[in-house]
Amino acid sequence: MAKTLNGEIIQIHVGQAGVQIANACWELYCIEHGINSNGCLCQIPKDDSYKTFFALSQSMKVVPRLVLVDSEPTVIDEIRTGWYRNLFHPDSLINGKDDCGSNFARGYHTIGMELIDFTMDRIRKLAEVCDNLRGFLMFRAIGGGTGSGFGNLLFEQFQMDFGKMPKMEYIVFPSPSMAPLIIESYNALLSTHLGMDISDCSFIMDNEALYDICTRKLDVKSPTYTNINRIIAQVVSSFTAPQRFYGSSNISFGEFQTNLVPYPRIHFPLVSYAPLSCLAKSCYDENSINQLTLQCFDPSNHLVRCSPAQGKYMACVLLYRGDISTGDINASMRTLDSITSGRFVEWSPTGFKTATNSMPPSFVQGGDLAATNRAVTALTNNTAIEKAWCRLIIKFNKLFKRRAFIHHFLTEGMEESSLTEASENICSLIRDYQEVNKL
C-alpha cells in the first residue's frame, strides 16, 4: 500500500460550536472512507486515503486524529453518549467543569489556563505518531468565550510548539443581525486581534447565511444546528478531499495559503459551495460544471453574508470533485473571465487556481442536501469582507463608548487597553482592505 497522499492533518474543535461541527464532519468522513460508528473499516480499503484523518490502532481500529475541547462538559458528553461514542479516543474528548460565560477573558486567562496543558499534551501525542504531519485545522466560533479565548490560547501554544507548521481554521463569524450574545463584538475583536499573526488562513462563515441556505435553498422550515453543521461538513469535506484522495491536479494543504493570501494580514477568504439543492428540487437542476461554477459566485451560495460584487477579488481557488472533465472546467473558466472582468485587482488579473478530484461527494442518508455526482467549492479572497469587519466595529463602538460590560473582562485579568488595541488593529485591517481595493 502506498504512503499517505499528503501526510496527516490534525483537527481541533473548540467550544460548543466547534464540537457540534465535529459531529457532522466526522459523520461524513466515516461515510466517505467506509468506517462504521465503532471505528471499524467496513471493507478492505483500496488505498490509504483514510490515514490523513484516521490512525490505525494495534487492534485494527481506526481512530480520528482530532481533539475536541470545551470549557464545560455538556456538549462533549453528548459526543461521549452519542452514536459515535466508540469512534473517538477518550483522551481526545477534553472538557473543564465551568463554562466560560461567553467571555473571552475567561477562555484566555482563567478557565483556559486550566485546560491548556492537558490539551496540548494530547495534541503533541497525536503529532508524534504522524509520519508526515502537514498542519492543523481548527473549528470554532469567535463570538463566544471558549472558541475565542481558549482558541487563541491554543494557537499561541501551537506557535511555540510547532513553529511554521500550517495552521488554518474555519470560524463562525458574528452574524449581521443575529446576535445571541451582547458582547460577541468584544470577543470577536479580541480573538481576531491576538490571532492575526498566528493563523495562516481563516475561512469565515456566519449562522445567518447558513440559515438562509437552509430555508431558501433546502426547504428546511426551522433549521437546527444539525442542519447547518451538515452544510459546513460538506464544504470541509470538499476542502480536504485533495488532501485525502488522488486527483489529476490536487492542491496541498500549504498551497491554500500560498494561493489565497497575498498579504499576511489579509487572510480571511469567503467560502461558497454548489450545488445547494434539496431532493425535491434536484431533479430540475442542470448541475453542469459551468452552472455549478457560476453558482459559487452567487452571493446566496456564500457561507457568510457578504456582497463580493462590492469589492475586488485578490485570489480564488476552485475545488472540483466527482464527475469532472478538464474541457468543462476550461470552458467555465472562460465564462468566469468574462463575468469577473474588472473585478480582480490589477496585479492579479487571472487569479484562478483550480484543483480536480475524481472522488464524488458523499451524503448523509436522510440529510437535507440531495446527492450529486459532482460538486464545486470556491474559496475567494475578496475585499468586500471589510464590510463584515465594519459591522463588527460599529457594534463594538456602541458598547465600548459607554464602557458597557467591560467589568466582566477586567475581573478576569484583562486591561481596558487590550480592547482599545483590538479595535485599533481591526480598524487597521479595514484600511488594509480599502487600500487593496484602490490598487
**What span, in angstroms and rounded, lies between the C-alpha atoms of 416 and 11?**
33
Contact 419, 349 (CB under 8 A): no
Which entry of 27, 78, 184, 255 is annotated as an active-site residue?
255
Three-state secondary structure call for residue 324: coil
Contact 88, 111 (CB under 8 A): no
Give φ, ψ of 89 to 5 degrees.
Answer: -65, 130
**What span, in angstroms and rounded, lies between the C-alpha atoms of 402 and 129?**
51
**Among this protein's residues, is 255 annotated catalytic?**
yes
Please identify which residue in the block is written with the cell numbers 466595529.
393
Which residues have C-beta within 8 Å of that of residue 369, sequence separation ≥ 6?
A: 218, 230, 231, 234, 276, 277, 278, 363
CA dihedral for 25, 31, 32, 38, sign (positive or negative): positive
Please give the C-alpha separations between residue 259 and each of 127, 263, 351, 378, in angstroms, as whole numbers. 26, 11, 9, 13
Please give the C-alpha separations between residue 84 and each of 37, 64, 89, 412, in angstroms, as whole numbers. 5, 11, 11, 36
Nearest to 24 by CA among 78, 71, 60: 78
> What residues are labeled active site?
255
